[in-house]
């Protein structure tokens, strides 16, 4: 059998359902084997970069391995941004790239690229395989690395002749399963004693609490401590919870800032946050100033990176938080359920502004909608203003900040969780990068609503330059394009909003409940400074 056939059999054994990417000469042997692999659907995208975002999002929402593939040379380089993104998000994605025949390496073969060193800084493991009998073992090794410990992306380069070489049919190794990372008992005891002995404190929750929200809320209620979240954790804690003080960091809330900057908390418990720039308002020292810091994470590399951690607890969030609760209960500190508070709906005015548009649209979309948020000035409005009406409802890529990633992410999320309404909020700048994935969604009948905030400029760049340098170059703007007409030319259902009066049921009916993707264009130039919180102060003082 061909060595590449063994790779497909291995992926089938791991219940891989989709492979995202684009066929090309150096990977066509792989795609040829898909004819005989009906359980795996190739999602042929319009750009490899979008394929990488789809694979990462699919991995996130299916809790399984994502797989994407590209050719040698440009296909491989187009995937690298997605690998860096998956690395920041701790998502297990197998990146496969083709490579030129082994005996042509160094001879300037077509699309030759020594790819594995390029992937090494942005993956957990990257290797080129030059012997056919090593291909399956290396794939298995890479997947095991991707799915164990701290999950993350891996990369294997497969020379075309290696893929096609016949090997003795191997036994398929057992597909890896991630085992929980258990904290040390002494660290649990030390953390619980500090929490029990503190008169006051607060919980700083990051995106690592995903999948552990119920435990986190139980712990907060047991301690009766307020919760602040990072922007990436928006969507995990419901707005109706009485202990939630809002978001700290990029586009955060004043109540959360006051708690951290002016509060008298003795202890801060950090759960699942790497305490990066956007989560901490440029590493605000007040988060831990004159406080005991306890940090829980499955990635030990985040401890003491910028903030001195008094009690680091290395372990999975759900197991660790549950263990801390048990320890507190043993000390006589019991859980008390707190009644939900009434979350007042926003007051939507007639003024045609971004926050009013987003509020009005959210009021008309299903409550359990999942939103994937792209990069642009609209992102600040989403973080600051949009409500959390259901669990795990926002996917905000503010960590790596790749423009256009929210488009591919929506497609991957919908494939992983097909019963959930999925909406991508993107901008015209992002759309011009990866908007042709509309065709991918159309061809595979993937019903995602793309809300395109069209202000005919690079809005985040415009406001950033205006704040930093008191001017913005005229070329940051661009010719106004009717994106709804673009969608129509692709045969995609669409509607356009030019005023608040356009946000009505009839207009939305044309883009909801479709058999494939739809586009809702919001043509709006909002001259207000986006609600970026303390980021505005930082940008305004930049260079002074």
Per-residue pLDDT tens digits for 248-296: 999 999 999 999 999 899 999 999 999 999 999 999 999 999 999 999 9
Beta strands in 164-320 (DSSP E): 201-205, 227-229, 244-247, 267-271, 292-297, 311-314
What is the pTM (predicted TM-score) of this model? 0.94
pLDDT-derived band at 533 (thresholds 50, 70, 90) equals low
Q: Is the pLDDT of residue 396 over 60?
A: yes
pLDDT-derived band at 457 (thresholds 50, 70, 90) equals low
The predicted structure's pLDDT at residue 416: 98
CB-CB contact of 274 with 299 (8 Å) = yes
Q: Residue 394: beta bridge partners?
A: 371
Q: Say whether 41 sits in a helix, a strand or coil.
A: strand
Average pLDDT over residues 30-36: 96
Q: Is the pLDDT of residue 180 over 80?
A: yes
The predicted structure's pLDDT at residue 464: 67
The predicted structure's pLDDT at residue 506: 86
Average pLDDT over residues 358-375: 95
Average pLDDT over residues 24-51: 96
pLDDT in tens, 199-247: 999 999 999 999 999 999 999 999 999 999 999 999 999 999 999 999 9
Residue 376 region, left (φ>0) first, then alpha (ψ -120 to 50), else beta?
left
pLDDT in tens, 404-454: 999 999 999 999 999 999 999 999 999 999 999 999 999 999 999 999 999
The predicted structure's pLDDT at residue 505: 87
Q: Which of 85-99, 467-481, 520-534 has the lowest mean pLDDT?
A: 467-481
Sheet holding 18-21, edge to edge: 41-44, 18-21, 66-70, 93-99, 154-159, 125-128
Q: What is the DSSP letter of 337?
A: P
Q: Is the pLDDT of residue 188 over 90?
A: yes
pLDDT-derived band at 475 (thresholds 50, 70, 90) equals low
What is the average pLDDT score of the chain? 93
- Report how far residue 428's alpha carbon sits from residue 451's, in angstroms, rounded to the nearest whole number: 10
Helix, strand, coil in percent for the chain, rounding step 5: 40, 15, 40
Q: Is the pLDDT of residue 321 over 70?
A: yes
Q: What domains sit in the chain, N to C, each tagged with a CATH number?
A: 3-164 (3.40.50.970), 185-330 (3.40.50.1220), 354-540 (3.40.50.970)
CB-CB contact of 243 with 221 (8 Å) = yes
Which long-range contacts link 222-225 to residues 24+ away (Cβ below 8 Å)? 222/325, 222/328, 222/329, 222/333, 222/334, 222/335, 222/336, 223/195, 223/328, 223/333, 224/336, 224/338, 225/200, 225/201, 225/269
The predicted structure's pLDDT at residue 480: 85
């Amino acid at each position: 059998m061909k060595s590449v056939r063994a790779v497909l059999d291995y992926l089938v054994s791991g219940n891989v359902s989709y492979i995202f990417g684009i066929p090309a000469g150096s990977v066509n042997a792989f795609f040829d084997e898909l004819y005989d692999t009906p359980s795996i659907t190739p999602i042929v995208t319009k750009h490899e970069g979008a394929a990488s975002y789809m694979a990462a999002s699919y991995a996130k929402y299916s809790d399984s391995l994502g797989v994407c593939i590209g050719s040698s040379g440009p296909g491989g380089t187009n995937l690298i941004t997605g690998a860096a993104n998956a690395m920041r998000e701790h998502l297990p994605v197998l990146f496969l790239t083709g490579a030129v025949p082994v005996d042509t390496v160094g001879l300037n073969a077509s699309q030759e690229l020594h790819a594995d060193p390029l992937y090494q800084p942005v993956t957990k493991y990257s290797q080129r395989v030059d012997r056919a009998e090593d291909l399956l073992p290396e794939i298995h090794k890479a997947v095991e690395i991707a799915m164990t410990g701290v999950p993350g992306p891996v990369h294997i380069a497969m020379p075309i002749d290696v893929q096609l070489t016949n090997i003795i049919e191997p036994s398929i190794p057992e597909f890896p399963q991630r085992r929980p990372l258990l904290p040390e008992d002494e660290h649990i005891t030390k953390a619980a004693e500090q929490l029990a002995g503190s008169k006051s404190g607060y919980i700083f929750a990051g995106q690592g609490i995903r999948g552990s929200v119920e435990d986190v809320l139980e712990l907060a209620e047991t301690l009766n401590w307020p919760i602040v979240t990072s922007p990436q954790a928006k969507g995990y804690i419901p707005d109706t919870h009485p202990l939630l003080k809002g978001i700290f960091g990029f586009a955060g809330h004043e109540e959360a800032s006051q708690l951290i900057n002016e509060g008298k908390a003795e202890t801060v418990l950090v759960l699942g946050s790497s305490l990066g720039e956007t989560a901490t308002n440029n590493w605000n020292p007040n988060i831990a100033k004159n406080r005991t810091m306890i940090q829980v994470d499955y990635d030990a590399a985040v401890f003491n990176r910028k903030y001195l951690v008094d009690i680091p607890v290395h372990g999975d969030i759900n197991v660790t938080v549950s263990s801390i609760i048990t320890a507190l209960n043993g000390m006589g500190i019991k859980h008390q359920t707190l009644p939900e508070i009434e979350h007042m709906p926003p007051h939507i005015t007639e003024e045609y502004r971004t926050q009013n548009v987003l509020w009005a649209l959210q009021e008309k979309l299903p409550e359990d909608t999942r939103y994937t948020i792209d990069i642009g000035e609209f992102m600040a409005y989403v973080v600051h203003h949009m409500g959390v009406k259901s669990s795990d409802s926002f996917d905000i890529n503010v960590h790596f900040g790749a423009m256009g990633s929210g488009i591919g992410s929506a497609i991957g999320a919908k494939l992983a969780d097909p019963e959930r309404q999925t909406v991508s909020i993107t901008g015209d700048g992002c759309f011009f990068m990866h908007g042709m994935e509309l065709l991918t969604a159309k061809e595979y009948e993937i019903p995602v609503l793309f809300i395109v905030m069209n202000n005919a400029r690079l809005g985040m760049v415009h406001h950033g330059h205006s704040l930093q340098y008191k001017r913005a170059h005229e070329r940051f703007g661009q010719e106004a394009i009717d994106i709804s007409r673009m969608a129509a030319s692709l045969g995609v259902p669409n509607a356009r909003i030019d005023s608040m009066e356009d946000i009505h049921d009839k207009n939305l009916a044309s883009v909801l409940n479709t058999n494939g993707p739809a586009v809702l264009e919001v043509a709006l130039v909002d001259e207000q400074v986006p609600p970026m919180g303390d980021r505005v102060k930082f940008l305004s003082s930049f260079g002074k």
